[in-house]
Amino acid sequence: MKKAGKLLLVAVLGLAFVVGLNGCGKKETGPIKIGVLLPLTGSKAKFGEMEKNAYELAKEKINKNGGIDGRKLEFVYEDDTGKPDVGRAGAEKLINVDKVPLIAGGYSSSVTYAAAAVAQQYRTPFLVNTGSVDKITEPESFNLTTNDGDKFYIYRLNPPVSEYASGLEGLLKEVVKPKSVYIIHESTTFGTKGAKSFAKTAKKLGIEILGNESYSSGTVDFKPMLLNAKKANPDVVYMIAYVMDAAMLMKQARELNFQPKLYVGAGAGFTMPAFKENAGKASERVVSATLWHQTLPIPGAKEFFDAYVKKYGGDGPDYHGAEAYAAAQVVADVLKRCKGDYSKENIKKQLDATDMMTVFGPVKFTSYGKKIHQNKMQTYVVQWQDGSLKLVWPKELANAKFDYPIDWNKYWK
């Protein structure tokens, strides 16, 4: 019996060896698929188009340089159409149908938060590159605590909306020195939270808030709201709007000849090339908070900008494109450190250990306040000057002088 058992063991081992030779033990050679959730149609498609272009540009370079341990990187895109329910369904498809071990992307805050809840439910790492409402990286909003880092699967490389105006504070305090402000914002999570955050900034700087009005998505007539603001006569008008609304706000402000000392956008639509294209003359000398500019002393920033223009034309990307390209860089870096183990848990482990430079700036996920897995970054100020977006603050990094005070009649004729 013992002899028969030994013979059986030898036969089994031999069969296993033959099977291995026939390919079952071969190393995987197909593409590594990673999900990307973006608004590719709908009112926010301009943002999604720029970010997808940036992801593809990064992917081409990554694959040209050997991919991930010799395997191609492939992005599987899901169109969230800018709607939370569609984003939620898209995240579920990427996880359960496409079987991706990692999701990247996430543009609008409401969609990103909805998709993050799905990723958290399925314990799938989600690398957010644009969605900015604070609660996205606050475990409490997912019924966890700040001590539950090992259970929290959401990571964000862009700053939260509460920090967007941090770079603007210096400009207001040192140069503009406004006594009053009127806030106009979209009634989305991003708009509402951003307005609340800027109101705190204004209070800290001793700036009186003369009004704080919201509008619904799809609004086309902003004149009643702008007339209210004009009547209040503020020094500064602070606006939180996506690109088409941002352009419409400024066009109608010009039509009403509403001339405060300064118009300030909170990033979002005010830095996009489409803002200038649609607002025309009304875009001139408008200031905006921003998270990036191609002239910043960040390794690879200008090269990325130039490569984007060469491939896709136009005026080039703003910070949204840089965020997406950086996310692709982080994805590649994480996968390479996985050493062939692309399980969700190992990807999460490598995200935790991320400490690298991207075209968007340094990325290292940390914890502070109520947030965990949050990258902390500096913010800046840009101004539209003669059809180009110039970096004007802080002074030591600026590539153009801040044009102030502004002669609106000169630019609006």
Higher pLDDT, 270 or 3: 270
Looking from the CA of 408 toward its CB, the CA atoms found within 13 Å total 16
Collect all residues with Cβ–Cβ distance below 8 Å to 41 and sequence separation of at least 6. 48, 79, 81
Position 15 pLDDT exceeds 50: no
| Mean pLDDT on 143-156 | 97
pLDDT computed for residue 305 by the predictor: 98
Question: b vs e for 261-272, b when ≥16 Cβ sit within 10 Å of the residue's Cβ?
Answer: bbbbbbbbbbbb
Burial class (CB in 10 A: 0-12, 13-18, 19+), 217: middle
Taken in order 347, 348, 351, 353, is the CA torsion positive or negative? negative
pTM of the model: 0.91
Instruction: Name the 3-class secondary structure at 208.
Output: strand
Tokens coding 8? 């059986």
Q: Which residue has the higher pLDDT, 4 or 325?
A: 325
pLDDT given at position 12: 41
Report pLDDT for 217.
83
Third-level CATH fold of 163-290+380-412 = Rossmann fold (3.40.50)
**68-96 pLDDT, tens per residue?**
999 999 999 999 999 999 999 999 999 99
Residue % of the chain over a pLDDT of 70 = 93
pLDDT surpassing 70 at residue 24: no
Lowest mean pLDDT among 25-34, 111-120, 280-289, 368-377: 25-34
Q: Which two tokens stand for residue 115?
A: 């998709």
pLDDT at 413: 87
Average pLDDT over residues 4-14: 45
The tokens for 28 are: 């995987």
Complete DSSP assignment for 344-372: HHHHHHHHHT-EEEETTEEEEEEEETTEE
Instruction: Assign 237 to helix, strand or coil.
Output: strand
CA atoms of 264 and 290, how far apart (whole Å): 11
Q: Give buried/exposed letters for 169-208 (b at 16+ CB in 10 A, else e).
A: bebbeebbebebbbbbbbebbbbbbbbebbbebbeeeebe
Quick: pLDDT tens for 345-361.
999 999 999 999 999 99
**Residue 305 host element (H or E):** helix 301-312
| pLDDT exceeds 90 at position 208 | yes
Instruction: Report pLDDT digits (tens) over 317-333.
Output: 999 999 999 999 999 99
Predicted local distance difference test score (pLDDT) of residue 28: 76
More confident residue, 16 or 84: 84
Name the residue with tokens 């996506």: 242
Query: What pLDDT is attached to residue 20?
Result: 41
Confidence of residue 236 (pLDDT cuts 50, 70, 90): very high
As a whole number, the mean pLDDT across the chain is 93
Span 180-196, mean pLDDT? 94
Q: How many CB atoms lie within 10 A of CB 67?
A: 18
pLDDT, tens digit, for every residue of 244-302?
Answer: 999 999 999 999 999 999 999 998 899 999 999 999 999 999 999 999 999 999 999 99
Is the pLDDT confidence value at 27 over 80? no
pLDDT for position 29: 80
Is residue 45 very low, low, confident or very high in pLDDT (cuts 50, 70, 90)? very high
| Mean of pLDDT values over 163-192 | 94
- Write out the residue limits of the CATH 3.40.50.2300 domain(s) in the chain: 32-159+297-375, 163-290+380-412
Q: Which fold has domain 32-159+297-375?
A: Rossmann fold (3.40.50)
What amino acid occupies position 373?
H
Segment 405-412 mean pLDDT? 96
